[in-house]
Each structure stands twice: as C-alpha cells, then as structure tokens.
Amino acid sequence: MASSKPILVIIHAEWHVPASYSSFIDSLKAHGYRVEVPLLPSMNGAHPPNADLMTDTAFIRNYVEKLVNAGFTIAALMHSYGGQVGSNALAGLGVESRSKQGLKGGVANLFYVCAFALAEGESMMGMIENFGQQDFLREKFHFAEDGTVRIRDPKALLVGGDVDRVQANKYISQLVLWNGKNMEQAIKRCAWREIPVTYIHGRQDQMIPYDYQRLMVRNLRAGGSKVETFQVDTGHCPHLTRTKELVNMVRQVLRKVGGCNADTSSSMKSSLARPPLATSAKAQTWAYWDHNVVPWGVG
C-alpha cells in the first residue's frame, strides 16, 4: 500500500551508529514513518581508517538514489557530521530537480540537526579555524597516530546533563572510532541550494556551538536557501535528550511534504545498512557490528 508520508533517512553523526538513534526511530515509527539509518563507512571500525568523507558521500548517494529511483519521496535528517555528508551526497536528487527531468521521487526536505551546513570548499576544520578555536580540538579530542579520533569526555561534549547516568552511559558505550581526516576534508556540492532546508538548533550544544549554528544558517540564507529554523534548549544530541520535541518538529515540517507513491508495506522496519567492515581481526574488535566499542571511560 502506498504511504502518504515520506521516508526519513537519517545520516548520522561522527562516532555514532544506527543504534544511537533507537528511541528517536521508535517514536517516528509509532507515528507511521518509515526510517532508514544507513551506517556510514567511516564508522566501520577500521584503524587505521579506510573510509573518509568522500567514501561516506558515495555510499549515501548510492543509498538514496536507489530509493528515489524507485519513486520514493525522501526527507533527510542529518546530525552533526552527517550535514557534510548529506550536503555533498544529495545534490541533484531534489524532488523539483527530478520532476523537471520527468522523474518521480526525490529528496523533499533537508533537516540539519545541530549539523554542519557548509558551502562548497568549506570544511569542519575551516569553521573551527574561522572562530579561532584550534585549541578546542587539542583539549576535547584525542587524535591517535593511526588517524582515528575520539572525544575525551563524550558525556560533557555530546550528552550533557539532560539524561540520567544510566542512559548516558548506555549511549556512550555505543560510540565508535572515527576518521580524523574527515574534519579537514571540504565538501564539493551543496544540496541545500536546491532542496528546502530546516535547521534545528541545540542552544546548549558544546560540540557545534550555537554561534556556529547561527552563522551557518545566515550563510545558507545568503546563498539563496529559505531556511526554516527551530530551537531546542539542549546539547548536541536532541534525538536522545529531547526526543519528543525533536519528533514533533520533524512531524510539523513533514506534514507539508508530499509522500511517496511507491509500495512501502513490505519494508516498514528501519533498515540498518551495513557497509563493508574492516578485514583485520584487530580492526573488527572495534567494530559496532561485533558489538565491541571504544573504551570511552564510561563510569
């Protein structure tokens, strides 16, 4: 049976995995949405890393192209680093752009949730340097010799104080290594130039500070994007700390978005796509799919 709702594709944050969004996904599904959460290749557990921003871009491009070519309408929700991946990967896949080519399906809306919304040639590192906060990296992150990076205090930087200790520790225990090179890589294309944008601010965000977020929205608008904004009084992960609020914001926007015209009845469950894992035994011990994770100092 055809659905009147778009499919929501979550492009997750650095260090995160599909399970990081479980409560958010469950709530969306309870409201009748189909949710897809593909695992980005740069979170495949390899060290040294064997995937980067361009690998993630190609993976998401291929993933979403299959959906839109099947006639589905998509809304992309991009969290943190996922904003760089989605901006880069989804250009040319908008509903309006495809309609002009006589094609059905496409991406109808981009949600940036505490996410990097950058222009062509810009990078995460460039944003940090523009604010003169290079010391922030050395203080907050541990860069290993093999190129992987992790957060020194994920509870403070990611979770904050809006959830209890047990919930915070469970969340942190699921985090995985990430490729530090991705911070320096610039995006090449900007899907936000052609697809409607919703930016959801985390006012207490310690990872991508509110000032960064506001500057990015101003830049999007200066670049011609009509950006709708919402604010949540929480940190970097509102899908965890303000689940109900975030779901309501997403639903409010998606009520204005047309649904897909393909049959979704056979695949309503969330799809946890699995890119190839690292092949060495040592690397796989860090891989999410083996249910082993980085020792984040949970306590």
Q: What are the φ/ψ torsions at residue 292 (nearest 5 degrees)?
A: -115, 140
With left for phi above 0 and alpha for psi between -120 and 50, is residue 232 left, alpha or beta?
Answer: beta
Q: Which of 22, 21, 40 is nearest to 289 (CA)?
A: 40
3: confidence class by pLDDT, cuts 50, 70, 90: low
**Distances from the Cα of 188 to the Cαs of 41, 56, 91, 163, in angstroms?**
19, 13, 10, 37
Q: Please list, residue by residue across 21-39, b when 16 or more beta carbons sit within 10 angstroms of its beta carbon and e when fewer do.
A: bbebbebbeeeebbbbbbb
pLDDT in tens, 160-190: 889 999 999 999 999 999 999 999 999 999 9
For residue 253, give both structure tokens. Answer: 């926007």
Judge contact between 93 and 106, C-beta under 8 A. yes
For residue 195, give both structure tokens. Answer: 């697809």
DSSP conformational letter for 15 = T
Helix and strand numbers (H, E) in the chain are 12, 9
> Distance from first CA to last CA of the chain, Å, rounded?
47
Asked if pLDDT for residue 281 goes beyond 60, the answer is no
**How far is CA 186 from its chain centroid?**
16
- Run of H or E including 109: strand 106-113
pLDDT in tens, 187-218: 999 999 999 999 999 999 999 999 999 999 99
Handedness of CA 229, 230, 234, 236 (dihedral sign): negative
pLDDT in tens, 111-135: 999 999 999 999 999 998 988 888 8
Distance CA 116, CA 217 (A): 10
DSSP conformational letter for 39 = P
**For the whole model, what pTM was predicted?**
0.88
